[in-house]
Structure formats: C-alpha cells, structure tokens
Structure 1
C-alpha cells in the first residue's frame, strides 16, 4: 500500500500541531508525558482533556460514518495517513495518556463492525465528545489469555428485557473511571469454550451490583482492577446473543490494527530517551550495549513495516498474534535497557529528602517494572504462539 504523506497530510499536520499547541497548556501540559504504567494518574485532568479533545473533533479520527445517507458519529473524517499524522504530533508534544483509548479504539470500531444502527447512534457520539469512558471486561482469574474459559454468567431479565451479569473480571484497565464496560459473558447455561458467549454492554454505575477493586502493581500505579458483578444489569447485546466469541475476536483484531502504529510512535519516543541517556552516561561506548540499542532501533523499524503490510491484508488470522509477539518482547527489552544504560544510578530515584514525600520511581524505573508484564497481558506469548501454530500453520493442537 502507498503510505507516503502528501500535501493534504501536511496541511492536516499543521492544523493538528496548531490545535495541540494552543490547548496543551496549564494542567494539561503538566499531566503529559507519562511513560508506561501512568495511565490513571491525574484521572480528573485526563477526563477533562478527553472533553477538550472531543470539543475539537479529535476523537474517532477515521471512524466510518455508517454508509451513504447517514450522519457521522460526531468525529472528524481522516485518512489512514492523517490518523498517523495526528498520533505523531500527539506523541511529539507529549500530550496526556488517553483516558478514552478503550472507548475510541476498541468499543467504537466494534460497534461500527458488529453493532446495530441504534447502538451506534446511542453510544458513539458520547465517546466522540469525550463524555463517556469505557473499560474492557474480558480476562478472569481462571481465564486470562485463554478467553474461551470465561465463567462470568448472564441470565435473561424477564422484566426489563436485558441480562443480569454475575461473575468476576480481572486486569480491567481504568475501571474506576469508566462509565461503561463491555463484557464477555456466558449466556447459554452449560455451554463450553467458544460456544454460548455474548458481548454485553454494562453500565458501571450500579451500586451494590458492580464493585471495582484496584490492583496496585510493583510500579506503584493501579490502573488495573478487579471488577465484581453481582446481578448487574446489561442493557445491550452486540452482534446477537451467542455470537460473543466472534465479536470478541473481531475486537482483538481491531485493537492490533491501526492502533499498533500509534503505539509504535510512543515506543520510538521512549527509545530516543534511552539512547540519550546512554550518550549522557557514556554507556554508549560499550560495544555490546551499543549493539543492543541499534538492534532495538532496527526491530522497531521492522515492526512498523510489518504493521503497514498487515493493514493492507484482510482476514489474516496470524497478524494480530505476530504483532503482539513482536512488540511485547521488544518493549520488555527496552525496559531492561532503560535501567542498564544508567548504571548504578538506576537503583535510586528522584527523592527530595527535604519534602518527606513518598518515594517516587523515575521514568526509567517505571518503564522497567511495568514492561515485565508486556509478554503476559493482552494474550501471553505462549497463547500467541499456539494461535500461529494452529490457525496459520495448521499444526496439531496440544493435547488437553
């Protein structure tokens, strides 16, 4: 595919840069630039920033408008190259980590692909305005990477017409701040594995029915949570009852599409900071460490071209798994380099002894600690390799 930037993209870049420079001021500017693991800090400011972005029309770039004769969902139209231009400028100016990522990049494309027109009209405009935040209810204590093992159950509410959801989800990003959760639940009693699952939309504001418990990681942050549903009411089913597995897998493919390119822009900024630290400390003179830095650069370029290649292919069952394997291991190694290039100084943080404030991790320390999880969450490396082996290469399944 042709991925070169043209005159329209240059004009779009100038518009995006001008808007960001004008609006990324004050508390918004102070909140920006956090590395891995800082997604929930400054939650109120980040939520206000979502509304700022929505007011400027910068949420939902490139969402389809539903076809001829229909109204767009409140977003601005943008080509694929313009979406990348926006992401580049956003990363360059170190704007705040997005509180609305899950609604914009996971829920919305899924509703566009599988939802009804009524669901699209109801749920997409509030996301585009930055008013509604979403979280993802997939993983469970006994069903993490292997989503087919979910046990959260949903039964019909004969009075209201929806479902009542009971069960537990875990590693639910940003659940404390979310207004809604899309939940993979078992709606057919006695069903097993991929069968009998449905993709439900659950309001989070249900006291006594929905409980969120933060999980504090070793990085000191707690953007992940446990979520307990006790007869919580689910208003909507996306894609039809019993079709949850197809919808859930479609969502994962969307998650690792254009958003993979956007993610790599942030990776490039992190790598740049690690290289600058290596130069500043003199670590770059070590030929072994220098070779590792060069390898990180080369692998990031390879990931970019692989992501561009897969955007031009339809229905490749192995593309999402290959992408996850590539970036998970790459980012984990970058976290190791971030502390290695700083030598012994990486063991201490920027502590102000006169303030008596709690010890805070440095950016490099947080990156190192958080990236320990990169090869686990979102589908572990072992699960991704099984998917490639079984669904792409046609190798026999492992005996269970």
Structure 2
C-alpha cells in the first residue's frame, strides 16, 4: 500500500497541529504530558475539562460517522490526528473507553434508542465509561466469566451479581459495560450478554487498586443485586461474546498508532539520559538503542498496513490477525525499552525520591515509571498467550491447545 500522505491529509495535519499549538498554551499549557500510562491520577479534573473543550471544538469522536455526531475522518486522517495529538504531548484524554471503545460498539451493534441515549453524552464527555471484562478467575480467559445477570420478576431490569477486577476508570466513571452470564448452566462463549450498567447505585462497590506507579487506574468492582434496565443489553441476549470481541477490535484500532509517537518520545528520553551519563559510549548499549529505533520505524509501517485491512469492530482474527500481531509487537518492544532504560540508569534506577504526595509516598523518575508500567503491557488488553493462540488457531488453523495442558 502507499504509505505516503496526500496533499489533503497534510493540509489536515497542519490544521490539527495549529489547533493544538494554539490551545495547549495559557490555561492548558501545564497539562502537557500529563495522564499517560501509570499516571492516570494526574490532574484528572483539569484533563476532564480539556476533554470537554475538545468536544466543544469538534475534536472528539473524529472517526465516528457524521450521522452519529463524529467527523467521519478517513483512516489516514485519523492516523494524522492521533499522531499529532501525541506529538504535541497533549494530555491523555479521560474519555478513551467511551469514545474509542463503547461508542463505536454501539454504532455497530446497538439499537437506535441506545445510540440516541448514549452517543451524544459520550461525544460531549458528559458521561464516562469503565470496562467490566476481567474477573479474578477470568482475566485473559474472558469466556470463563462468572458474573451473573437475571431478569427481575417483572422483566423490567437485569439483576447482576459478581465481581470484576482490573476495571479501568471505574472510580470516576458513571457507567460500565459488563460481560455477564445470562443463561444459567451455559459455558464458555455461550450464554453471555453485553450489559450497560450505571455505577452510581447501592448494588455496586468500587475499590481502587494501588499500582506500583502510584496511581489507581484499575479497580475491583463488586455487583450485589445491582440493576440496569432490561433494554440496556447490546446485541442479542446470550450473544454477547460477538459484541465483546467486536469492542476489542475497536480497542486495537487506529488510535493505538498514536502510541508509536509516544514511544518515540520515550526512546528519545532514554537516549538523552544515556548521553548525559556517558552510558551511550557502551557499544552494546548503543546497538540496543539503535535496534529499538529501527524496530519502532518498522512497527509503525506494519501497524498502518495491517490495521488498514481491518474494518472497525472485526475481531482479532481479522486482517490475518493484524490487531493481535500489532499488540504482541508493541507490548514486547515497550518492555524492552523499559529494560534498556534501567540499564542506562544503572544504580540510579534503584533510587527513589521521598515526597508527601500520593499514596506511594515516593516520586518515580520518568524512566522508572516507564519500566514498571511496561511490565503489564504483555498482559492488559489481551495477554501475549491469548494473542498467540488467536494467531495459531484462528488465523493459521492449527489444532487447539489441549485442555489442561
């Protein structure tokens, strides 16, 4: 495929860049770089206001169709937007799960009433969403979920009981999309439903999980007789697995290419530190840094080529497993970057600066935070093992792994 940008795309890039340069100044200037991985606790209220400002200016939901309130940008224009947003070191948005995951899922699988009810509030950042997938005994093995939902006696509500864990953003969201077992006695992928559940109710308890990096992006969520309206099931009852997989297809969509720009910035930071402390003179370390740069360049090209062959909402086997391949590649590359960063810091990587802010009681260096958070890259969003099984079984057609092996 042609990896170049058209004149129209470059003109669009100039518009995006000018907008961000103009507005990431003054009252918003201090937000640059805040809220990235492992730093979701930073300036949450201020980043929420920034996100709402973007909405008012028409810069949220840029890939949504215009009939659903988006800008209807082409694939290349979406790549441009996310790359320029990352290149400007703009603050991490607060509405990612609603804008990039649930919104497109409702467009693809939801009812007209559901789209009318939720899409405008997602676009305007009036309601925030959490993801209720993983459970204590069903992390990577999502088909093993045990959270149950049943219809009330009068059929007006779903009644939900169970526990979710690693629930991103539940501590400040108003809603959560939940995969629950709605057919008693069903197993694995069968009998699951995709429910939209309000978090502000007596039957829901949210417990933030403190991370090594000092924040609490993830949460435990307990459902004890929690309720949601009977019509807030996306897709058919008992057929929620397809909806859940469609959402994961959106999760690994074009917005992930913006990560590559962030990775480039992190790699440059590691190189700067190596020059400052003299470790760049080590030929082995210098070779590792050069390899990371070359791999990053190839990663971006392959990511664009692979994802361009996938329609939003298709599952992980689409495009020859493009989403799974990209996830494996970037997650392992990022972990290696963190390991090289610690080698560059040497003994300094073991030191912490005490302070009185935050639950952790210490201040992490940016490279320390990179190393610690990157350890989770090969687990969250679909573990390496699951991605490799998808590629082996569903793309290459190899025999399924024996149970209990």
TM-score (norm 2): 0.91
CA–CA separation in structure 1 for the residues paired with 2:27 and 2:152: 45
**SS at structure 1 position matched to 2:89:** coil
2:305 to 304, 309, 312: 309
Q: Could you give the per-residue CA deviations for residues 315-359 of structure 1, whole angstroms, max 9, x where no partner exists?
A: 336222212211111111111122221232223345579xxx942
CA–CA separation in structure 2 for the residues paired with 1:28 and 1:359: 26
**SS at structure 1 position matched to 2:224:** strand
Q: 2:9 matched to 1:9?
A: yes
Cα RMSD (Å): 1.9
Does the 8 A contact of 1:185 with 1:199 survive in 2? yes
Q: Name the counterpart of 1:387.
A: 390
CA–CA separation in structure 1 for the residues paired with 2:49 and 2:308: 36
What's the CA shift for 1:21? 2.5
Q: Name the counterpart of 2:167.
A: 172
CA–CA separation in structure 1 for the residues paired with 2:197 and 2:354: 42
Q: Name the counterpart of 1:224.
A: 218
**SS at structure 1 position matched to 2:176:** strand
Does the 8 A contact of 1:140 with 1:169 survive in 2? yes
Q: Name the counterpart of 2:278.
A: 282
Q: Name the counterpart of 1:333.
A: 336
Q: Which residues of 2 match residues 60-79 of structure 1 at below 5 A?
A: 60-65=61-66, 72-79=67-74
Q: Name the counterpart of 1:295.
A: 291
Q: How many residues align?
A: 390
**SS at structure 2 position matched to 1:132:** coil
What's the CA shift for 1:183? 0.6
Does the 8 A contact of 2:160 with 2:223 survive in 1? yes
What's the CA shift for 1:394? 1.8
Q: Name the counterpart of 1:55.
A: 56
Q: Which residues of 2 match residues 116-127 of structure 1 at below 5 A?
A: 116-127=111-122
CA–CA separation in structure 1 for the residues paired with 2:71 and 2:400: 45
Q: Name the counterpart of 1:69.
A: none
Q: Could you give the per-residue CA deviations for residues 136-159 of structure 1, whole angstroms, max 9, x where no partner exists?
A: 100000000010000001101343
**SS at structure 2 position matched to 1:53:** helix
**SS at structure 2 position matched to 1:233:** strand
1:252 to 221, 231, 248: 248
What's the CA shift for 1:168? 0.6
**SS at structure 1 position matched to 2:93:** coil
Q: Which residues of 2 match residues 105-124 of structure 1 at below 5 A?
A: 105-124=100-119
Does the 8 A contact of 1:27 with 1:45 survive in 2? no
Distance 1:26 1:347, change over 3 A: farther
Q: Name the counterpart of 1:33.
A: 33
Q: Name the counterpart of 2:313.
A: none
2:205 to 211, 221, 225: 211
Q: Name the counterpart of 2:44.
A: 43
What's the CA shift for 1:234? 2.4
Q: 2:398 matched to 1:399?
A: no
**SS at structure 1 position matched to 2:362:** coil
Q: 2:368 matched to 1:374?
A: no
TM-score (norm 1): 0.92
What's the CA shift for 1:282? 1.9
What's the CA shift for 1:222? 1.0
CA–CA separation in structure 1 for the residues paired with 2:121 and 2:74: 22
Q: Could you give the per-residue CA deviations for residues 86-124 of structure 1, whole angstroms, max 9, x where no partner exists?
A: 222211221111111111111111111111222222211
What's the CA shift for 1:160? 5.9
Unaligned runs of 5+ in 1: 66-71
What's the CA shift for 1:77? 3.0
Does the 8 A contact of 1:28 with 1:95 survive in 2? no
CA–CA separation in structure 2 for the residues paired with 1:232 and 1:288: 56
What's the CA shift for 1:380? 1.6
Q: Is the deviation greater in 78-87 or in 362-371? A: 78-87
Q: Name the counterpart of 2:239.
A: 243
2:362 to 359, 364, 367: 359
Does the 8 A contact of 1:116 with 1:238 survive in 2? yes
CA–CA separation in structure 2 for the residues paired with 1:286 and 1:313: 41
